[in-house]
């Protein structure tokens, strides 16, 4: 996993009421991301490392504990689907 996850350049991101719709033209696939996955994807700019993303998700949702496992799972799935490099 990259130290600084970055969204795949080719994807098209469209906001919707409850998250994002992401189209990957390389795979001709459409993904509907829930609000949390949308936040994680938006934070994948290549400028922040995994720990910074965890901290920002924790702050965004006012969580008592850092959501390390959840963010790792989300990043893994986004990478598996080709949305994050």
Digit-coded pLDDT (tens) for 5-58:
999 999 999 999 999 999 999 999 999 999 999 999 999 999 999 999 999 999
- Residue 3: its pLDDT value, please? 85
Distance of CA 52 to the CA centre of its chain: 13
Indicate the domain borders of the chain.
12-80
Question: What pLDDT shows up at residue 1?
Answer: 47
Assess whether pLDDT exceeds 80 at residue 75.
yes
Q: Contact, 40 vs 22, CB < 8 A?
A: no
Residue 2 predicted with pLDDT over 90: no
pTM across the whole model: 0.92
Residue 44 in tokens = 């994948």
8 Å CB contact between 66 and 55:
yes
Which of 78, 83, 85 shows the shortest CA–CA distance to 12?
A: 83
């Amino acid at each position: 996993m990259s130290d600084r996850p970055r969204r795949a350049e080719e994807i098209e991101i469209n906001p919707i009421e409850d998250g994002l719709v992401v189209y990957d033209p390389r795979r001709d696939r459409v993904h509907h991301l829930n609000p949390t996955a949308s936040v994680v994807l938006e934070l994948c700019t290549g400028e922040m490392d995994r720990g910074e993303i965890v901290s920002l998700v924790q702050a965004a949702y006012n969580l008592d504990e850092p959501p390390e496992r959840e963010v790792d799972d989300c990043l893994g799935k986004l990478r598996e689907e080709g949305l994050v490099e």
